[in-house]
Amino acid sequence: MFTPRVRTSAPLRALGKGPVAPSPSANTAPGARPVRFALTVPLCALFALGSLGGCCTRPRAEGLQAPGTAALPQPQGDVTNAGPEAGVAAPTTPTPQPLVANQGILGAPPGAVPMSLAPIVRRVRGSVVSIFTAQVEMVMPQWGFADPSERVRRGAGTGFIIENNEILTNNHVVEHAQHIEVQLDNGHRYPAQIVGRDPRTDVALLRLTGATGAQTQPITLGDSDVAEVGDWVVAMGTPYGLSQTVTTGIISAKGRTGRDVPLDPAGYYSFIQTDASINPGNSGGPLLNLRGEVVGINTAINREAQGIGFAIPINMVRTILPSLRQHGRVIRSYLGISINDVDESVAQAQHLPDTDGALVMDIDPQGPAALGGMQPGDVIRTFDGTVIHNAGELSWQASNAGIGHQATVLVRRAGQELTLSLVLIAMREPTR
């Protein structure tokens, strides 16, 4: 279905995309369109749009050799008191208590006092990787008869291993990359290939080649739906080339849409907002709960503010993973309408008790909505029995309902409620 039309309210800046500097990653190519990235390295400035920045590092024009990075320290195992041995008393230093949140903490008893994130970091650091990209560009001479020359644009970002040597990251970290290398926590580098990309959600799936299962450590994916505003979270990544950097904060808000984070208008957004420090190069890194589970992918920042970062909910990523693995892209269903959020004036005109729903602005005359009897001015209140709170929710649900799915839609028209039955078709995706 069409993407909702919304007006941007604050200048946000994409930190770049492409092989060198998007959101918390470090991938960007000059002239690229604004993307929702937040963790890009200095090079991300190339893709600046307003104040929202990507977290990846932008590609640098230089020789073909990838930027050197010192080997990362080996993760240290948990230290525990072994107890008296050979007549020697065990140390009496108390073991630090991990942080606590309502969702529970790794290894912490109920009611434990927040003391240290070290147990969480030790558990997951082997799963967090640094991503380095390269893209060869042809440079035309400004004058004279010199031949075109080549230059290499480099980028850097972050990712995390999920299973079968697969790595999740942001699409803008690798979108234009011709060569991708992944550095593990032990400092070893391996080539990686793109399994699938989805620009609309800014998610990419990679696969390591050459690394064995014994060398990789999958991370646990959590449930972003149960995460609450106020929960403690931990961000890990490679900001400005500083691998395995750990920051912490809380979930500041949930459900941030295109109205709050004006990025690509064709995208699907329901960001987790956090005040955990996110910088260029962090793009694609994990946002973790206190059990060490991934609840989001760090993606974008507001560069005109402090402590305003955005992460893609991991449950959105779970939804599209099967399609990325099978098709290399996301195959979406299509409702055939252009929509917007419902404001107070529309709610009053339709005698609605609230502003929940999606206002139909325009209809594809050959699409499922038109064939099912929908009209411009209708307010869609529910989709398959699920209450629709805004236009972004409807876009996401309809696009993932499935081709050929017969959807039941409750609409409000001239103060009356109508139930429509629509058969969804395949969305026509542009080549990106």
Strands 358-363 and 379-383, sheet pairing: antiparallel
Query: Which pLDDT score is estimated for 400?
Result: 94
Nearest CA among 55, 12, 8 for reference residue 276: 55
Task: Identify the three-state secondary structure at position 142.
Answer: coil
Binning pLDDT at 50, 70 and 90, where does residue 188 land?
A: very high
Say whether pLDDT at 38 is over 70.
Answer: no
DSSP 109: P
- Grouping H, G, I as helix, E, B as strand and the rest as coil, residue 367 is coil
pLDDT averaged over every residue in the chain: 79
b/e map of 118-156 (b: 16 or more CB within 10 Å)? ebbbbbbbbbbbbbbbbbebeeeeeeeeeeeeeebbbbb
pLDDT confidence of residue 305: 80
Angle formed at CA 158 by CA 276 and CA 331, multiple of 5 degrees: 105
Task: Look at residue 56 in the predicted model and tell me its pLDDT.
Answer: 56
* Cα gap 264→254, rounded to integer Å: 19
Predicted local distance difference test score (pLDDT) of residue 39: 39
pLDDT in tens, 231-264: 999 999 999 888 899 999 999 999 998 778 877 7
**CA separation, residue 370 to residues 111, 342, 365, 378 (Å):** 55, 20, 6, 12
Residue 46 has pLDDT above 80, yes or no: no
Task: Report pLDDT for 87.
Answer: 40
Mean pLDDT of 149-160: 90
Whether the pLDDT of residue 175 is over 50: the answer is yes
| Model confidence pLDDT, tens digit, residues 198-224 | 999 999 999 998 887 777 899 999 999
The C-alpha atoms of residue 228 and residue 223 are separated, in whole angstroms, by 11
- Distances in whole angstroms, Cα of residue 429 to Cα of each of 210, 219, 291, 334, 339: 33, 31, 38, 10, 18
**Which residues of the chain are in CATH 2.40.10.120 domains?**
1-64+98-139+150-330
Catalytic residues: 172, 202, 283
The share of the chain scoring above pLDDT 90, in percent, equals: 57
Query: Which of 341-363 are b and which e, b meaning 16 or more Cβ less than 10 Å from the residue's Cβ?
Result: bbeeebbeebebeebbbbbbeeb
The helix or strand, by DSSP H or E, that contains position 172, with its residue range, turns out to be helix 171-174
CATH of domain 1-64+98-139+150-330: 2.40.10.120
- What gap in Å lies between CA 408 and CA 422, rounded to an integer? 7
Residue whose tokens read 């749009």 = 49
**Confidence bin at 323 (pLDDT 50/70/90):** very high
pLDDT at 25: 43
**What digits encode the pLDDT tens for the residues 52-107?**
555 555 444 333 233 333 333 343 433 333 333 334 344 444 444 444 444 566 66
Cβ count near 417 (within 10 Å): 12
pLDDT of residue 107: 60
pLDDT digits (tens, 9 = 90+) for 4-25: 444 434 444 444 333 333 344 4
pLDDT given at position 57: 53
pLDDT of residue 3: 45
Residues of the chain with CATH 2.30.42.10: 333-426
What pLDDT is stored for residue 193 in this prediction? Answer: 96
Say if pTM beats, i.e. exceeds, 0.75: no
How many of the other CB atoms lie within 10 Å of CB of 394? 25
Q: How far is residue 379 from each of residues 382, 410, 416, 421, measured CA to CA in Å?
A: 9, 8, 10, 15
The CATH code for residues 333-426 is 2.30.42.10
Least confident interval from 96-105, 333-342, 377-386: 96-105
pLDDT per position as a tens digit, 386-420: 999 999 999 999 999 999 999 999 999 999 999 99
Share of the chain above pLDDT 70, in %: 72
The pLDDT assigned to 47 comes to 32
Distances 290 to 59, 115, 119, 154, 392 between C-alpha atoms, Å: 33, 12, 10, 34, 29
Beta bridge partners of 298: 311
Closest CA to 309 of 263, 288, 278, 267: 278
pLDDT at 409: 97
Q: Give pLDDT, residue 20.
A: 31
Q: What average pLDDT score do residues 297-325 get?
A: 92
| CA–CA separation, 84 and 331 (whole Å) | 61
The long-range contacts involving 209-212, CB below 8 angstroms and separated by at least 24 positions, are: 209/165, 211/165, 211/184
In this prediction, residue 428 has a pLDDT band, given cuts at 50, 70 and 90, of: confident
Give mean pLDDT, residues 31-42.
40
